A and B are shown apart, each in its own frame.
Chain A
Amino acid sequence: MSKKDLVMEVKDFSFTYAGVDKPSLNKINLPIEKNKITAMIGPSGCGKSTLLRAMNRIHDLYTGNRYEGEINLYKEDDSIQNILKLKKENDFIQLRQEVGMIFPKPTPFPMSIFDNVAYGLKLSGLKDKAEIEHRVETALKGASIWNETKDRLKKSALGLSGGQQQRICIARAVALKPRVLLFDEPTSALDPISTGAIEELISELKKELSIVIVTHNMQQASRLSDSTAFMYLGDLIEYDKTDTIFLNPSEKLTEDYITGRFG
């Protein structure tokens, strides 16, 4: 795997939360491949969300966290940006438009469906109404929720079901045309049918962007992902092609977890 196939790369990344002595992540190394789905699995509390939330610097909304190492973003012009070096609000904004995030619970804003999806576009300074309408429609279609919402775009997004809300959140992120989308257990609050719809959507999305998904559902990881990272107590134990991780892992710990001996 050459660097050309990567969109991000985590290098020797350690992270300690404010007010805590013990690091939550120890020297993590993880490549994120372009137009692939990378899954992070591991028992609850092993640091999956912590790692994911470092990749768009959302941790920085809270003060006092300590970290070291590198998280590199490979830009479209082939330049390399260590996102841990960013300091200015403008740089964060740019990073977050390039690296979007979907949260465990649907988080529609208290505004209409249309305004939810248009929100990021308006933030990014897009003013042309026709263009915004076009991108909202494309994003809603891309998130396979256009048919359900096209007649009620002006209605509040809070009136939708949980699964629909989560797809609105995905549409909202996709509308910004990010290069990477980070999913933190996106289906943990949803029923099986909505979960199926979201999974299908995620597989579709990898044509256009690169995906990292945290899940505690091993079937989900094996169904969806191309590569899988197994984490345990703040360490990255094993990273490989998903088939290898699930069928022929090289670490005993991975095997024990996969076969359900703990977790």
Chain B
Amino acid sequence: MGGTFFKNFSFFSATLSFFLLIGIFSILFSYAQDALHEFGFDFLFNEVWEADEDDEGGIFGGFIPIIGTLLSTLIAMIIATPLAMGIAIFLTEIASSKIAKPVSIAIELLAAIPSIIYGMWGLFYFAPIVQEYIGGNGVGLLTAGIVLAIMILPFMAAISRDAMQTTPAVLKESAYAMGATKFEVIKDVIMPYAKGGIIGSVILALGRALGETMAVAFLIGSVMSIPSSITDPSTSIPVLLANNFAEAQDLEMSAMYYLALILFIVSLVIISIAKFYFLRTKVK
């Protein structure tokens, strides 16, 4: 009897998560209807975001927050990916265990810091540095991208390291036994062996960067303008949603659901791809 109950319960939980997914999608989709009808796919390329005087209608286009999201994420990925690989390689193959242990722990702790703290730190510490050495007025795409990179770095490095550490010692030994250098072993044995996990970690980090709200809200500048250089301020989808949600009405609200729907679909696709890579490595 207990067995049946447990079976039913786990079946219930499993289906629940599936229905949640469908439920969230349908709500986003139905609330976005007005904007979908009004703007169609032009929404993606329209850079105007203006409510009418009476607050009932207006013209809303997602171009700026979409571009802002993509650019800040792109900057973050360009900075974080090579650094994370470097850290993971250092921890698995180069550092002695005396060094690797504390560094690993530090990285796992960094991954656990809430993003708002990264945002505050970025605003007060990092923004002035960017302003002084690179230009702009501190907040902007570049600052947001750099701090995003710092946020996703530990996570990416930790997962890539785990993947690299699954390379069997005998496989590495056989490469060394053929006269391979450390660099060649990393390039020809460890990287191909851990490829699935590495790609998965990059994609998961990408998903996290795309959806990050708090840290970016502090740093991107939150202005509705097309950036003409990477130090310019702009906005991103999650930031725009968080900032405007309280006051928006009717069509503007619907347009925001449209943006949320876009983010939802993109994140879902990204997570699915990442899962695909992780699953493939496990099967192998």
Contacts and interface: CB of A to CB of B under 8 A. Distances in A.
Contacts of A104: 170
B188 A107 contact: no
B38 to A, nearest CB: 52
B178 A111 contact: no
A93 B193 contact: no
B180 A123 contact: yes
B177 A56 contact: yes
Nearest to A175: B178
* Interface band, chain A: 20 to 34
Nearest to B96: A63
B189 interface: yes
A105 B188 contact: no
B188 A119 contact: yes
A111 B179 contact: no
A132 B11 CA distance: 58
B15 interface: no
A97 B179 contact: yes
Interface residues of B, number: 21
A15 B179 CA distance: 23
Contacts of A176: 178-179
B88 to A, nearest CB: 18
B174 to A, nearest CB: 4
Contacts of A123: 178-180, 184
B177 A96 contact: yes
Interface string B181-198: 110100011001100000
A97 B188 CA distance: 17
Contact of B178 (A61, A94, A119): A119
Contacts of A89: 181-182
A173 B178 CA distance: 7
Interface in B158-208: 168, 170-182, 184, 188-189, 192-193
Contacts of B181: 89, 93
A109 B171 contact: yes
A103 B184 contact: no
A107 B185 CA distance: 13
A169 B174 contact: yes
B171 A96 contact: no
A127 B271 CA distance: 42
Contacts of B176: 58, 61, 96
Nearest to A124: B179
Query: Would you list the 7 A-B pairs with minimal beta carbon distance, nearest first?
Result: A107-B174, A120-B178, A93-B179, A101-B177, A110-B192, A97-B179, A96-B179
Interface of B: 96, 168, 170-182, 184, 188-189, 192-193, 284
21 contacts: A56-B177, A58-B173, A58-B177, A61-B172, A89-B182, A93-B179, A97-B178, A100-B178, A104-B170, A107-B173, A107-B174, A109-B171, A109-B188, A119-B178, A123-B179, A123-B184, A158-B284, A173-B177, A173-B178, A176-B178, A176-B179
Interface of A: 56, 58, 61, 63, 89, 92-94, 96-97, 100-101, 103-105, 107, 109-111, 119-120, 123-124, 158, 169, 172-173, 176
Given A103-B170, A124-B179, A176-B179, 10 more contacts: A61-B172, A93-B180, A97-B179, A100-B178, A101-B174, A109-B175, A110-B193, A119-B178, A123-B178, A176-B178
